[in-house]
Amino acid sequence: MDTLHYLSLGFGVALQPENLMFALIGCFIGTLIGALPGLGPANGVAILIPLAFTLGLRPETALIMLTAVYAGAMYGGRISSILLNIPGDEPAMMTCLDGYPMARQGKAAEALAVSAIASFMGSLIATVGLILLAPLLARFALTFGPAEYFALFVLAFATLGGITGKNPMKTLMAAAIGLIIATVGIDLSTGTQRYTFGVLELYEGVDFIIAIVGLFAISELLFFIEEKAGAGREMIKVNPLKLKWREIASIFPTTLRGGVLGFIAGVLPGAGASLGSFITYTLEKKILGKRGDFGNGDPRGVAAPEAGNNGASSGALVPMLTLGVPGSGTTAVLLAMLVSLNITPGPLMFTQNAELVWGVIAALLVGNLILLLLNIPLVGVFVKILSVPPMYLLPVVTMVAFVGIYSISHSTFDLYFMIAFGVAGYILRKLEIPLVPVILGLLLGPEMEKNLRHAMQISDGDWSILWSSGLSIGLWLVAIIGLLLPVVVGPILRRRMQAAKEKVG
Residues near other proteins (CB under 8 A): 54-55, 166-167, 169-170, 172-173, 176-177, 179-180, 183, 187, 189-192, 194-195, 218, 221-222, 224-226, 228, 230-231, 389-392, 394-396, 398-400, 402-403, 406-407, 412, 415-416, 419, 422-423, 430-432, 448-449, 452-453, 456-457, 460-461
Q: What does the alpha-carbon distance between residue 95 and residue 81 come to, in Å, rounded to a whole number?
A: 6
- From 299, 297, 306, select the one nearest 88 (Cα to Cα): 306
- The smaller minimum CB distance to other proteins, of residues 166 and 285, is found at 166
CB of 84 to other proteins, least distance (A): 18
Rounded to a whole number of angstroms, the minimum distance from the CB of residue 443 to other proteins is 15
User: Among candidates 207, 185, 157, 201, which has minimal Cα distance to 46?
Assistant: 207
Q: How far apart are CA 223 and CA 229, in angstroms?
A: 9
Nearer Cβ to other proteins, position 20 or 180? Answer: 180
Report, in Å, the least distance between residue 188 CB and other proteins: 9
Quick one: 225 or 484, whose CB is closer to other proteins? 225
Distance CA 357, CA 27 (A): 19
The minimum distance between CB 434 and other proteins, in angstroms, equals: 13
For residues 104 and 170, which CB has a smaller minimum distance to other proteins in the complex? 170
Q: Give the residue with the Cβ less far from other proteins, 203 or 392.
A: 392
Give the list of residues 6+ apart from residue 449 with CB closer than 8 angstroms, or none. Answer: 183
Q: Which is nearer to other proteins, 211 or 221 (CB)?
A: 221
Cα 304 from Cα 436, distance rounded (Å): 27
Q: How far is the CB of 247 from other proteins (least distance, A)?
A: 41
Nearer to other proteins, 142 or 187 (CB): 187
Q: How many CA atoms lie within 13 Å of 181's alpha carbon, on the beta-carbon side?
A: 23
- Distance from C-alpha of 231 to C-alpha of 304, rounded to nearest angstrom: 32
Closer to other proteins by Cβ: residue 17 or 191: 191
Q: How far is CA 22 from CA 14, 57, 133, 336, 357, in A?
A: 10, 10, 27, 19, 16
- The distance of closest approach from Cβ of residue 180 to other proteins in the complex, given in angstroms and rounded to an integer, is 5
DSSP 167: -
Q: How far is the CB of 37 from other proteins (least distance, A)?
A: 14
- β-strands 185-186, 193-194: how paired? antiparallel
61 or 314: CB nearest other proteins: 61
Shortest spacing between CB 463 and other proteins, in angstroms: 10
- For residue 462, the minimal CB distance to other proteins (Å) is 8
For residue 63, what are the contacts with CB-CB under 8 A and spacing of at least 6? 334, 337, 338, 341, 356, 359, 360
Q: Which of 418, 483, 498, 474 is nearest to 165 (CA)?
A: 483
Counting every residue written for the chain, the total comes to 505
